[in-house]
Amino acid sequence: MDPHRVEINLEGYVEGEFNLDSLRMGYRYSPWEERNGEFHQGILCNDRVVRAVLKRQKGKLWLCLESNSALSSEETEWLRERVIYCLGLKDDLSPLYELAKGDGNLKKTLVALPGYRLKSAPTLYETIISAMLSQNCSVQALFSMRKRLIKTVGRRERINNVIIYAFPLPEEIQSAPKETLMKARLYYRTKFIRGVASGLSSGFLRQLELISPEEGIKALGSPKGIGDYTASVFTALELTR
């Protein structure tokens, strides 16, 4: 099946400088996989997997969306805005660079990582679950657990002869048999993640976007398994507060 393909020039959406190579660096919960100089990620959109590809072409930043059925204009816009948000392309870094003028270490970091921005996940629930996975482990261990969880419970689709996976929905994690989740080797986190998934309704997630960071941290404490650390990381990385 030939995939439906939409290409979007992102240059007009970038505030300041953005270094595509920074997708290989730094602390991030939603890593983009690199293939042949391009970065890709599977995103679930209206119950189907869409392959999002980022690349530099003639000096410009492009987003390519591929799916096995045509995307509507509303879906294309939602995917574009999600990727822009995930990459922090609209973030104004000028206050950070101003602050760096008086901090030698921060200045060196920004020179080493020009245009570096905090990266978030496409969805709120993905960031919450990834934050839980990240506790008491290295970044590489986090990435390995995320990948195993996605491949064990997530959606899978072949697009342009490439198998693409998308992060599982909370209800897919909750309904997965215990034996299936154990294959993801999340260790002691398994029971907590399954419990939290049951409390991540769409209404609860929408509420998090509207309330203050302090209220959000308090609200996130209601599903068992989310502590202050996970809640604080979530409000910083996903809600950028």
Residue in the block written with tokens 């209404």: 203
Global pTM value: 0.83
Q: Residues 105, 158: one domain?
A: no
In the chain, the amino acid numbered 141 is A
Q: Is residue 29 part of a domain?
A: yes
* C-alpha span between 147 and 84 (Å, rounded): 23
Count of domains forming the chain:
2
Tens-digit pLDDT string for the chain (241 aa): 557 999 999 999 988 878 887 787 655 666 788 888 899 999 999 889 999 999 998 889 999 999 999 999 999 999 999 999 888 888 888 888 888 888 888 888 878 777 777 777 888 888 888 888 888 888 888 889 999 999 999 999 999 888 999 999 888 998 899 889 999 999 888 888 888 887 776 667 677 666 666 676 677 666 666 777 777 776 766 665 5
**Domain region containing 230:** 124-237
Q: Is residue 20 part of a domain?
A: yes
Q: Is residue 53 part of a domain?
A: yes
Q: Residues 102, 136: one domain?
A: no
Q: Where are the alpha helices (DSSP H) in the chain?
A: 73-87, 94-100, 104-112, 124-133, 139-153, 170-175, 178-182, 189-199, 202-210, 213-220, 228-237
Residue 133 · residue 185 · CB < 8 Å: no
Asked which of 112, 145, 177 is the last residue of a domain, the reply is 112
Q: Which residues contact 46 (CB under 8 A, 6 or more apart)?
A: 75
